[in-house]
Structure formats: structure tokens, C-alpha cells
Chain A
């Protein structure tokens, strides 16, 4: 009998993930041994330090282009770029998560198991400190996302999918206010996420049946040479794509998005809108560009139709929303459509512009949710749009920042939103996907309307009795907001360095 051969592992290349998984485990350990009073600050500092350390290692590794761990993990340009993006955006989200100045005890409930509405619940809502398990959970999710974009075979990808999804399901349920809504959202997300995972896994099985392996390189060769029935292949591509498009919030797999974005604690919504999107599109890019590029001719029309549907659904439904978080959810759906347009360019430019878009959108969307956490009254965040009427009179600074953010979403020049859209549309045109671009331009004009409606409401309506004031943000939220706004502006005025970076990184290893 042969000895089991362990594959060689380049620990340096996967060090960022190892650091974060280590930090997360350390966080669980702290939870067990530290006194309650010291936990929050320790957890926050350790998590932030871990993220910074991981980012530094990503930067040091920036020239690495290898397959490691027996070909299960690919550390290449897109991996490192997207990992860096996930870390930075995760860091911003973690700043929001850690802020306790807006609400006593933070945005998270202390003990999620207490029955909603009971005396104990009312006590903890007003007095007790929030849970501190959220920090290791968030770090687990971020580390899982990093593995997700690095995964070079379908099984590793599936494991990573579950690693980052499970903490998110939990985090969604932990809102201090409106706990029923939060728990409902978490349950929905969990059920539908499990459902989508089943599709993904079934797709993996079909592709294995076709290619005789799960590694992307093997699949790539099999697409060219295999004599197996291609029905297995195309069924497999379809089901795997569905699993990934669910996470990316593309129509018709977007149905969970508005409910979950609305119900989850706002910092977690920010984390999902920015980081999950990066992770989902990172994985989708790798699957389509590395494993199935030989079948591009066949999947482009189907995914193109999904992109168009996604853009239309997101843009049209955003028009009628009355809740700011749901509005941003539909906007996030529409943005998934624009990202798909970039993905379907199926070229180096497409890859580079999609990565640029992910980063640009991520910064802006976290800043947007940061503002949402600030607009509040005695009952917590005031998310109904009617409550935002006249906000410009009450708090011109934050209404001004939010206006800028909305203009960026609308793709007005000199914001990152314009450059990002321009880049993906340009890449798609270069590849002859003009029909996608036409739909993209039309829907983005459509989408400008709901944004404008909010702007008009904030500045041109009289403040009503119920218009809440904007809370002065604590240092952490202010930092996240400022990073997001400045990044949106800088990427809009001088995008060249980041564009160069994405162009240099836009090469997968196989």
C-alpha cells in the first residue's frame, strides 16, 4: 500500500487566510477566558490588527502566481487583488460593527436566544452590552470569502462558500432593534442559502461526472477533449452558476436580498453588500474564466439574459421602494447586473473592469450604510424614506455626503460610479456585447430616478415632525464613512492607479 503523500503547501502564499482563521479562533478563545468587561475592546483590536496584518501579507505577496495545496488553491493576480479588497472592505464594515457610541451597547443584541418581547428582552434592549461573538464571526466570514476567491477546485469552493455563509446567517439574526424582522431575515437567508447550496453541489456532481475531476484545470481540459455527454456539462454549469448568482443577488435568485438587507443589523448589511458581492463575483469570474472558458459561446447568451433581467428588476423595483435599506438592496441587485455585464466581456479588460467595479462599489455602499446607521430616533434607525424628508435642513453635512454617495450610485462623472460603469461597459463593447451595454445604459438612467427622489426628499421637502436628527457618529463610524466617501471621490477623479493595478492583476493561473 502506498504511503499517503501530502501535497506541498506554500504557507507564505496562503498566510493571509491562515492569519485570519487564526485570529478568529483566537477570538473564540478570548470569548471563553476573558472577563466580560475586557472582551469588546480586545476582540475589536485583535480583529482589526489581524485584518491589517493579513492585508500587509497580501501586499508582500503581490507578485505571487502559483497553485498550491495540491492545486486546490490558486494564489494569482485576481486572488490577491480581491483578497485585498475583501480585507479593506471588511475592515470598514468591522469599524461599523464595532461602533457603540450611536446606541448604548452597539447595534447587536446581547443574547439572541431570549424571547422577543419578554421582560428579559426589554431589559437587555435598553441596558446590556451587545454580544462580542460578532467579531470572531465576522472574521470567520471574511476569511471564508478570501478562500472562496482563491479556491481552484469546486469542492474547496463549496467548503469556502459554507464557511463564509454560516457566520453571516448568524450575524443577520443579531439586531438589537426589530429583532423579529432580523430573525426572520436570518431564517430566510439560511433556508434559501441552503437551497442554493444544494443547486451548487448538484452542479458539482454533474461536472464531476463530465470531467472526472473537480479541479478547474481538469475541467478546462475536459471541456475541450472529453467525449462524455455535454448535457452533464451544461447542466452542471447552469446549477453551479445558480449557486453563485444567488450569493451575487442576480435575478431571479435575488428574492432574499431586500428582506435580508432590511432585517439584518445595518453594519452586517454593509458587510454583505460589499464583501459578499466581491466574493461571489470573484468566484464566478474564476469559474467562468478558468474552468468553463471553452464553453463561453454557450453560456454567454443565458447569463446575458440573466444580466439584463437583473438590471431591469433592480432598477424598476428600486423606483417604488419606501425604505432606504430596501432601496439600497434593489440598487445592489441592479449593480450585480452591471457587474455581470463586465464578467461577460470574457476578456482581460472585462476581468480588470469587474474587479475595479467591485472595489469602487464596495467603498460607496459601505459609506451609504454608514449614513443609514446615523439617521435615527429613539426607536433606532429611521429607515422609512418619509422620515428622511427635510434631512438636508436638519443635518446638511450628512445629507450632503449621502447626496454625493447617491450621485456615485447614479454614475455621475467625477465619482467612482461613473468610471466603474464606463469601464465595464467599455469592456463589454470591446467584446461585442453591445446589447448588454444598451440595457446597462438605459437601466442606469432609470435607476438615477429613485436616487434623485431621495435627494429631492432630503433637500426640497420640509422637515416633518417625525424627521429624525442625524446622530453624531462615533470615531469608528466616522472613519468608515470618511474612507468610503474619499475613496469614491478619489477613484472618480484619479482612477488611473487602481485601473493600472487591476489591469496588471488580471491574469488567472490555471
Chain B
């Protein structure tokens, strides 16, 4: 009971109130419209735009970024930092009403800056990366489409708008994953991403319907103000369904398996979609719905558990992978686990999750683009066992990758330290024994992160050369690719301290302030511990891999085998979802085609003994159709009569 009270005190019930946008701010719909228009031009003009398409693609997102900055400073000057813009009535049936409306508040503002800022750098990088690809214009078209959908996702003022953006980014990401569609694995990966996301989307859709049923509205303001009137069971249900949606989009347990496979797409796609923006949509959803999640303690515990479990799963599998992009992908899964841990802890930790998300956007984009740069110089090789000693040949990539590496493992004073360590502290601040559980998980995650990221870094850039024969002299990438790398590295270094001091205050109107908490260990002890385990992880990995590694996969113990097999998640999915699905389909097909017919034939054989002759006479299947209709009719009539006579009721 004590726990309830103190948590409730930390989150004062905010009365949510948005004011209409005025003046210059009333044009913030342009943020979405500009990339959307650019996408339309690039995709509709076709080959005519091949020559200058990439310029328009980069330009549109850069203009959006500049606009976003302007709007951001406008917003800072306002008293009520949440402005709303209603464009038109979208759906209006009876009591049900949805606006095509947008909301620009501190939370969406930081996301918009991340999407357009990091997005611009990745767009710029893609100009160089895709230079020799004949489909570059189409690629930029999809890329702009993705950016527009992502902006719609964070700028909507109700859950239906959010869902629109949600489906939009999904659609654009399938197009982008499958962009190199001549590779069968890319097509399969696109399909897998689609299916797993559908599971999550179904949860999200049902959550929206539940909101409408319970509260009669899907607007953020009305839903959040109405949560207090709902029973705790309904809030729990709604939250769990939203969480299912969030886990699907963000690659969290139990829907984590699609994300690493999605790395089949071009590297800038991995950087933009699967590191910096789309996969964080789940975190956005939970942070945005914070009044719902804060209203139920069980719900928060579930979110925390999902986060803690996923961050460990991601780390463990990341240690066992040899493909540079897959290691980074599992590392993304694990880092988003930290963010889920943060949003699940509630209270002030919401803001911590968001700043970790922002910092992660910088250093993970840097890591992915760095990986792309390495692959660019190494004939698209992705196996880290075949790299080594590259620091001599690609100095800029090495330096920027190194800074991002130090940032992700959380060594002070780089950004990861300022954003990850507070989440670990917050985990130790829970009110009961679970503080130990989740705190330890977060610490263990930090150690493992240090281990696998160091392994990746050392095997790629240091130690002996283990290149395949055809590579004699790897080259550094052109400036159009290295400039974004440098800028992202600057972000990885500096952004953490900057954001840790200012962003939580900025977000207070949306997410609530940070209350005072007692951790089970003192703050300093936790800080020292987390730095110690990180150094331990780095040291161990360096000692093990400084001299390179075997070129082939070696036999290993059960734990490593399990990690190599993605902890058997694929096998689990196959057994639990795929097999029964296939069975159900087969059974229905069988019934539809043969079941009834077989029954009729069987009856005929039993009764007359002359079924073969009958069968020859009746070549059509009308009889079996009629039989199935008759069966259905009898059942329907029987059901009516049974209800009427009270047999069923």
C-alpha cells in the first residue's frame, strides 16, 4: 500500500489542456506536408526525376528540420507549451468523432527534431551510399514517405492519427526493407516484419476501439482526462493492448524476432528506421499514453519486465553474432529494452527514457552508418571475423565509430553515460524487492553491452587482418558519407550532458516531474558499480579478441548455441504460431473441399453400396454444396429453436 501512495505522489494527475495554434505556429502541418510532397514528386515523376531526385529528397527533409527548429523556438516562448491544430473533420458518425488534427508539444517537438535532424544526416549519407544504385530516386521517394509518416505519428493529436502514422511507417519500412528485392532473404525479411507487426497492430487497434467504447473519444486530451473514471481492469487491458502494439513496432519481447532480420535492407534504412526513429515509436506510444500507464501499477510492472527481459535477450544474442549489422540490430533491441524499462518505471523515468532515446538516435545512427562505411570499403562484407586492422585504412570511420562505441557502453563523459546510468539508478529506486531484480538486470545489461560492443569494435578495427582474398586495399568513404558520420559523432559526445540537464525540465509539462526517491543503494555506489562493470566488460572483450578470432563458427556450449539461434525465439514462433496456423488452414481447406463431400460419398457407399457408379454419374460438386448448406440451415434453425426453448440460455 505504501508503494502505491508514494508512486501516486510522484505523478501528479495532470489536467491535459491544449490551446489552438496561432500565428506562425499554425503552419506546423508543413513539417509533414513537405516530405510528403517530395515523396509524391519523386515517385510520380518516375525516371524523369532520376538526375536531381536525391537533391530534392535531402532538401525536403533539411527544410523540415529548419522549420522544426523555428517552431521549436516559437514553442519555447509560449506559456502553454501544447498547441493543437485541427485541419478538418475526418470521421464523424453519430457520437463518434475524429479530427484530422495535429499536436505540437514538448514531447512531439523533441521527436520532430530527432526525426528531421538525424534524418537529414542519414539522407545526406544515403546520397553517397546509393550512388551506384539505379533505384536511388525511388529509394529517396520511399525515404521521404517514411519521414512524413513518422512525423504524422508523433504530431497527431489523437490515437487514430497516431495509428495512421503507425501503419504508414510500417508500409514505408516494408518497401525499404524489400528495396533490394532481388535478394530472396530481403523479401522474406520484409514479410516477417510485416507479420509480426500485424500482431502488434491488432493489439493497438483493439486498444483504440476499447478507448472509444469506454470513453467515447480517441483524442489525447479527452482520453487522458477520462482515464481516472475507468475501472482498473479496463485501464490494465487498454495498457496491455497498447503495450502489445509497442512491442511489435519496437522489436521487444515477445515480438523481437523481426528486427534483426530487417537488416537486409540498405544500411541507411537500418540507421534511420531500425535504429533512430521507427523502432522508437513504441517508446513514444507509451510515453505519450503516460496517464494510462501511470494509472495502474501492475501495468507498469509488466512494462518494466518486458524492458528488462528484452534488454538482456538483446545483449546475450548480441554477444554471439558475427554479422556487423546483426550485432548492432540486437544491440538496438537491447537499448530499446532500456527505454522500455525507463517508461515502465514511470514518474521521472519517462523523461530519462526519452533522453536515452534521443542519445541512442545519435550514437546508433553513427554506428550503423559507420558499419555501412566499413562495408562500402570492404565489398559489402558483413562478417566481423573477416575484418581486422581497419583503423589504419579508414581513420574517420574508425574515430567516429569509436566515439559512438564509447557512448553506447556508457563511459563518462560521453552521452550514453548521462542517459543510461540514470535509468539504472531509477531501476534501483523501485519501492520493493523488485528494485534489486530490475537494477541488477540493468547493471548486467551494461556489462554485457560493454562486452559485445568492444568485441565488435576490436574485431573490426584492430588485431590482425583477416580479410577475404579479393580485398587488397580498403578505402575510406567519400566526404558525403563521412561528414554525417562526424556530425553524428559530435552528437554522440556532446548531446548526453546537454540533454540530461535540459530535456527533463522541457518535458515536464507532458510527462510530469521527477519526484524524490530513495534507492536501495546510494546513488554514488550505483554509479561506481555501473562504471566498474562496463570497464570489466571492455577489458574482458579486449583480452579475448585482441588477437582476432577464428574465421569459422566454432563448436560451443549450450548457452552460446542458444544465443546463436536467437535464444530459440524463431523455433518458438514456428511451433506456437506457424504450425497451428498451417494446421488450421489445412483443416479448413480439407473440410471445404472434401469433408462434406466425403461424408456424402461415405453415406452413399454405406447405404447403397454403389457409390462408385454414383460418383461417376455426378461429376459436379453441387450436391456437396447443397449438403453443406442444408447442414448449416439445420444448425441455424436448431440454434434459434434451442434459444427459444431455453436450452442454451
Secondary structure at the A interface, as helix, strand, loop or mixed, is helix
A503 and B91 CA atoms in complex are apart in Å by: 12
Whether the pair A196, B629 counts as a contact (CB closer than 8 A) is: yes
Among B588, B631, B640, residue most surrounded by chain A Cβ atoms (within 10 Å): B640
If A188-B621, A255-B592, A255-B629 are given as contacts, then 17 extra A-B residue pairs at C-beta distance below 8 Å, sorted by A number, are A187-B620, A188-B622, A188-B625, A195-B626, A234-B644, A235-B637, A255-B624, A302-B639, A305-B639, A316-B585, A320-B589, A356-B93, A430-B95, A442-B202, A456-B178, A494-B90, A496-B90
Quick check: is B643 within 8 A (CB to CB) of the other chain?
yes
Quick check: is A241 within 8 A (CB to CB) of the other chain?
yes
Quick check: is A437 within 8 A (CB to CB) of the other chain?
yes
Q: Which of B198, B202, B209 contacts A426 (CB 8 A)?
A: B209
In chain B, positions 183-224 with a C-beta closer than 8 Å to chain A are: 187, 190-191, 194-195, 198-199, 201-202, 205-206, 209, 212-213
Whether the pair B625, A255 counts as a contact (CB closer than 8 A) is: yes
Mask: chain B, 286-297; 1 = CB below 8 Å from A; 0 = not? 000000000000
Chain A residues within an 8 Å CB radius of B639 = 238, 301-302, 305
Whether the pair A445, B585 counts as a contact (CB closer than 8 A) is: no
Segment at the interface with B among A140-148, A282-290, A412-420: A412-420
Q: A-contacting residues of B (Cβ < 8 Å)?
A: 88-96, 160, 163-164, 167-168, 171, 178, 181-182, 187, 190-191, 194-195, 198-199, 201-202, 205-206, 209, 212-213, 584-585, 588-589, 592, 620-622, 624-626, 628-629, 631-633, 635-637, 639-641, 643-644
Chain A residues within an 8 Å CB radius of B589 = 317, 320
Q: Which of B168, B182, B202, B641 contacts A231 (CB 8 A)?
A: B641
A-B CB proximity, top 5 nearest:
A252-B632, A255-B625, A460-B181, A234-B640, A413-B164
Chain B residues within an 8 Å CB radius of A256 = 625
Name the distance in Å between B262's Cβ and chain A's nearest Cβ.
15
Whether the pair B91, A441 counts as a contact (CB closer than 8 A) is: no
Name the distance in Å between B537's Cβ and chain A's nearest Cβ.
41
A426 and B218 CA atoms in complex are apart in Å by: 12
Whether the pair B202, A445 counts as a contact (CB closer than 8 A) is: yes
A298 and B168 CA atoms in complex are apart in Å by: 42
Whether the pair B640, A235 counts as a contact (CB closer than 8 A) is: yes
Name the distance in Å between B555's Cβ and chain A's nearest Cβ.
37
Name the distance in Å between B9's Cβ and chain A's nearest Cβ.
35
Segment at the interface with B among A71-79, A162-170, A347-355: A347-355
Contact A427/B209 with A239-B637, A301-B643, A448-B198 known, Cβ cut-off 8 Å = no
In chain A, positions 285-316 with a C-beta closer than 8 Å to chain B are: 298-299, 301-302, 305-306, 312-313, 316
Whether the pair B640, A238 counts as a contact (CB closer than 8 A) is: yes
A320 and B584 CA atoms in complex are apart in Å by: 11
Whether the pair B636, A242 counts as a contact (CB closer than 8 A) is: yes
Whether the pair A298, B643 counts as a contact (CB closer than 8 A) is: yes
Contact A441/B206 with A412-B171, A496-B92 known, Cβ cut-off 8 Å = yes
- Nearest B residue to A413 via CB reads B164
A196 and B629 CA atoms in complex are apart in Å by: 9
Quick check: is A159 within 8 A (CB to CB) of the other chain?
no
A348 and B96 CA atoms in complex are apart in Å by: 12
A460 and B190 CA atoms in complex are apart in Å by: 10
Whether the pair B88, A494 counts as a contact (CB closer than 8 A) is: yes
A429 and B631 CA atoms in complex are apart in Å by: 31
A235 and B644 CA atoms in complex are apart in Å by: 10
Whether the pair A456, B191 counts as a contact (CB closer than 8 A) is: yes
Whether the pair A199, B644 counts as a contact (CB closer than 8 A) is: no
Whether the pair A427, B93 counts as a contact (CB closer than 8 A) is: yes
Chain B residues within an 8 Å CB radius of A235 = 637, 640-641
Whether the pair B636, A452 counts as a contact (CB closer than 8 A) is: no
Contact A231/B198 with A199-B633, A320-B589, A434-B213 known, Cβ cut-off 8 Å = no
Whether the pair B585, A320 counts as a contact (CB closer than 8 A) is: yes
- Nearest A residue to B43 via CB reads A400
Whether the pair A496, B629 counts as a contact (CB closer than 8 A) is: no
Quick check: is A184 within 8 A (CB to CB) of the other chain?
yes
Contact A188/B644 with A456-B187, A499-B91 known, Cβ cut-off 8 Å = no
Chain B residues within an 8 Å CB radius of A356 = 93
Name the distance in Å between A477's Cβ and chain B's nearest Cβ.
22
Whether the pair A302, B96 counts as a contact (CB closer than 8 A) is: no
Among B181, B212, B644, residue most surrounded by chain A Cβ atoms (within 10 Å): B644
Whether the pair A496, B89 counts as a contact (CB closer than 8 A) is: yes
Q: Can you list 9 A-B pairs, Cβ within 8 angstroms, ordered by A?
A: A192-B622, A255-B629, A352-B93, A356-B93, A414-B164, A414-B168, A430-B96, A441-B205, A441-B209
Whether the pair A302, B202 counts as a contact (CB closer than 8 A) is: no
Name the distance in Å between B194's Cβ and chain A's nearest Cβ.
6
Whether the pair A317, B588 counts as a contact (CB closer than 8 A) is: yes
Contact A246/B629 with A238-B636, A437-B209 known, Cβ cut-off 8 Å = yes
Quick check: is A500 within 8 A (CB to CB) of the other chain?
yes
Chain B residues within an 8 Å CB radius of A437 = 206, 209
Contact A352/B94 with A188-B622, A252-B632 known, Cβ cut-off 8 Å = yes
Mask: chain A, 150-183; 1 = CB below 8 Å from B; 0 = not? 0000000000000000000000000000000000
Chain B residues within an 8 Å CB radius of A230 = 644
Whether the pair B195, A429 counts as a contact (CB closer than 8 A) is: no
Quick check: is A459 within 8 A (CB to CB) of the other chain?
yes
Name the distance in Å between B200's Cβ and chain A's nearest Cβ.
10
Whether the pair B636, A426 counts as a contact (CB closer than 8 A) is: no
Name the distance in Å between A415's Cβ and chain B's nearest Cβ.
10
Whether the pair A495, B91 counts as a contact (CB closer than 8 A) is: yes
Contact A302/B622 with A412-B167, A413-B168 known, Cβ cut-off 8 Å = no
Whether the pair B209, A231 counts as a contact (CB closer than 8 A) is: no
Among A242, A253, A422, A495, residue most surrounded by chain B Cβ atoms (within 10 Å): A422
- Nearest A residue to B195 via CB reads A449
Quick check: is A482 within 8 A (CB to CB) of the other chain?
no
- Nearest B residue to A243 via CB reads B633
Whether the pair B644, A298 counts as a contact (CB closer than 8 A) is: yes
Contact A191/B202 with A423-B91, A460-B181, A499-B91 known, Cβ cut-off 8 Å = no
Quick check: is A438 within 8 A (CB to CB) of the other chain?
yes
Chain A residues within an 8 Å CB radius of B631 = 252
Whether the pair A238, B637 counts as a contact (CB closer than 8 A) is: yes
Contact A237/B640 with A320-B589, A429-B212 known, Cβ cut-off 8 Å = yes
- Nearest B residue to A356 via CB reads B93
Whether the pair A438, B206 counts as a contact (CB closer than 8 A) is: yes
Quick check: is A425 within 8 A (CB to CB) of the other chain?
yes
Name the distance in Å between B35's Cβ and chain A's nearest Cβ.
16
Chain A residues within an 8 Å CB radius of B622 = 187-188, 191-192
Whether the pair B93, A441 counts as a contact (CB closer than 8 A) is: no
A121 and B592 CA atoms in complex are apart in Å by: 34
Name the distance in Å between B352's Cβ and chain A's nearest Cβ.
32
Quick check: is A319 within 8 A (CB to CB) of the other chain?
yes
Chain B residues within an 8 Å CB radius of A349 = 93-96
Whether the pair B94, A348 counts as a contact (CB closer than 8 A) is: yes
Chain B residues within an 8 Å CB radius of A306 = 636
A318 and B120 CA atoms in complex are apart in Å by: 42
A424 and B171 CA atoms in complex are apart in Å by: 24
Name the distance in Å between A268's Cβ and chain B's nearest Cβ.
19
